[in-house]
Amino acid sequence: MLDKDTVDYLQKNIDKVESLERDKSESFTIWVRHILTILVGLLTILVAFNKNKIDDCLTFYFFSSILISIAISVITGVTFLFHQISNLKQTIDFQRKALNKRLSGDFKSILSDNVKTKNIYKICEYVFYTFSLLTIILLVIYGMLINQ
């Protein structure tokens, strides 16, 4: 039989795994909703501003740069999203392995739950936020250009 402290420790780990599972599904839905809401909204504004004929090169360059900025935001946002989900999955897998070891009676081994993060994903996060803001700024400038 296990003593009360061990049972409490194991129950705490089980609760942690269940919490991480909930966070994983919630995180996925929240990120998809944020990416789609922001970027589809920006694309809708761009379509609302669009004219049938673009008169000068500057307006055309702003229109093109907005489309490119939205595309880069979508790509980096999705990359960052899948990285977040992957990190949660790795953490859940680690917690399950640790829990299995503890349930089998191995309380002596030291486990480390450091998940290695590549810099490319941090860069994708910054690029996503930067290009999302850049798109808004470009939309404002584009709106002023076509209303002149």
Each residue's pLDDT, cut to its tens digit, for the chain (148 residues) gives 566 776 677 777 777 777 777 777 777 777 777 777 777 777 777 777 666 666 788 888 888 898 899 889 888 888 888 887 777 777 777 777 777 777 777 666 666 666 677 788 888 889 988 998 998 898 888 888 887 7
Closest to 80 (Cα-Cα) out of 39, 117, 38: 117
Residue 144, pLDDT score: 84
Closest to 125 (Cα-Cα) out of 71, 85, 77: 77
Residue with tokens 């966070």: 23
Residue 105's region, left for phi above 0, alpha for psi from -120 to 50, else beta, is: left
Please state the three-class secondary structure of 114-129 as a single string: CCCCCHHHHHHHHHHH
Residue 92, pLDDT score: 75
Q: How many residues does the chain have?
A: 148
Please answer whether residues 101 and 109 qualify as being in contact, where contact means their C-beta atoms are separated by less than 8 angstroms. yes
Residue 131, pLDDT score: 92
The number of folded domains in the chain is 1
Q: Could you give the CA distance from residue 51 to residue 117 in angstroms, rounded to a whole number?
A: 44
Please answer whether residues 7 and 71 qualify as being in contact, where contact means their C-beta atoms are separated by less than 8 angstroms. no
Domain that holds residue 28: 4-146
